Amino acid sequence: MEREAVLVGIDVGTSKVCALIGEVSRDGRLTIMGHGTVPASGLKKGVVINIDQTVRSIADAVERAERLSGWKIDRAFVGVGGQHVESLNSPGQVAVTGHHREVSREDVNRAIEVARAVPIPSNREVLHVERRGFSVDGQEGVKDPLGMSALRLEVETHIVSASATAVQNLSKCVAAAGVKIDELVVNSLASAEAVLTETEKDLGVAVADIGAGTIDLALFQEGSPFHTRVLPVGGNNVTNDIAIGIKTSLAVAEELKVRHGSCDLPSVVDDEEISVSVLGESAGRTVGRLEVCQIIEARMRETFELLRNEIRAAGVGMLPAGVILTGGAAQLSGIAELGREVLEMPVRVSGPSSIGGLVDTIMSPDYSTAVGLLQWGAISLAGGEPLRYESAPAGGGIGRIRDALRSIFP
Domains of the chain, CATH where assigned = 86-163 (3.30.1490.110)
Q: How confident is the model at residue 358 (pLDDT cuts 50, 70, 90)?
A: low
d(CA 342, CA 298): 12
**DSSP H stretches of helix in 314-367:** 335-343, 359-362
332 closest CA partner among 232, 218, 208: 208
Structure confidence at residue 61 (pLDDT): 96
- Those residues whose C-beta lies under 8 Å from the C-beta of residue 188, and which sit 6 or more positions away, are 85, 207, 209, 216, 217, 218, 228, 229, 230
What Rg, from alpha-carbon coordinates, does the chain have? 22
4-8, 22-26, 57-61, 389-393: segment of lowest average pLDDT: 389-393
Average pLDDT of the segment spanning 138-144: 88
148-162, 269-283, 342-356: segment of lowest average pLDDT: 269-283
Structure confidence at residue 99 (pLDDT): 75
Structure confidence at residue 384 (pLDDT): 54
Structure confidence at residue 284 (pLDDT): 75
Average pLDDT of the segment spanning 308-326: 93
**Quick one: what percent of the chain has pLDDT higher than 90?**
73
230 closest CA partner among 320, 146, 327, 151: 327
Buried/exposed code over 368-394 (b: 16+ C-beta within 10 A; e: otherwise): bbbbbbbbbbbebbeeeeeebbbbbbb
Structure confidence at residue 187 (pLDDT): 96
Structure confidence at residue 403 (pLDDT): 40
- Residue 100 is given by DSSP the state T
Q: Which amino acid is at 340?
A: R
**DSSP H stretches of helix in 250-396:** 250-260, 289-313, 335-343, 359-362, 368-381
Which residues partner with 206 through β-bridges? 219, 323
Q: What is the overall mean pLDDT for the chain? A: 88
d(CA 182, CA 198): 25
Continuous segment of H or E residues that includes residue 400 = helix 397-408
Structure confidence at residue 29 (pLDDT): 82
Structure confidence at residue 357 (pLDDT): 65
Which residues partner with 262 through β-bridges? 333
Positive or negative, the CA dihedral 173, 177, 180, 182 is negative
| pLDDT above 90 for 369 | yes
Structure confidence at residue 268 (pLDDT): 87
| pLDDT above 70 for 253 | yes
Structure confidence at residue 379 (pLDDT): 87
d(CA 206, CA 204): 7
Q: Are strands 152-163 and 124-136 parallel, antiparallel or unpaired?
A: antiparallel
Q: Which residue did the predictor score with more confidence, 390 or 271?
A: 271
Positive or negative, the CA dihedral 306, 160, 9, 52 is negative
d(CA 85, CA 214): 11
156 closest CA partner among 200, 111, 120, 125: 111
**DSSP H stretches of helix in 6-97:** 51-69
Q: How confident is the model at residue 365 (pLDDT cuts 50, 70, 90)?
A: very high
- Those residues whose C-beta lies under 8 Å from the C-beta of residue 214, and which sit 6 or more positions away, are 14, 45, 46, 81, 82, 83, 230, 231, 232, 233, 234
Task: Please state whether the predicted TM-score (pTM) of the whole model is above 0.75.
Answer: yes
Average pLDDT of the segment spanning 137-150: 89
d(CA 21, CA 61): 11
For the stretch 376-409, pLDDT in tens is 999 887 765 433 333 333 333 444 444 444 333 3
Average pLDDT of the segment spanning 197-221: 95
Structure confidence at residue 401 (pLDDT): 43
Structure confidence at residue 16 (pLDDT): 94
Positive or negative, the CA dihedral 166, 367, 205, 214 is negative
Average pLDDT of the segment spanning 286-305: 95
For the CA atoms of 311, 316, 320, 326, the dihedral, rounded to the nearest 10 degrees, stands at -20
Q: Which residue did the predictor score with more confidence, 299 or 285?
A: 299
d(CA 321, CA 220): 10
d(CA 218, CA 220): 7
Residues in the chain, overall count: 410
For the stretch 45-91, pLDDT in tens is 999 999 999 999 999 999 999 999 998 999 999 999 999 999 999 99
| pLDDT above 70 for 368 | yes
157-161, 208-212, 239-243, 265-269: segment of lowest average pLDDT: 265-269
Structure confidence at residue 393 (pLDDT): 35
Structure confidence at residue 97 (pLDDT): 85
For the CA atoms of 39, 41, 46, 48, the dihedral, rounded to the nearest 10 degrees, stands at -150
| pLDDT above 60 for 323 | yes
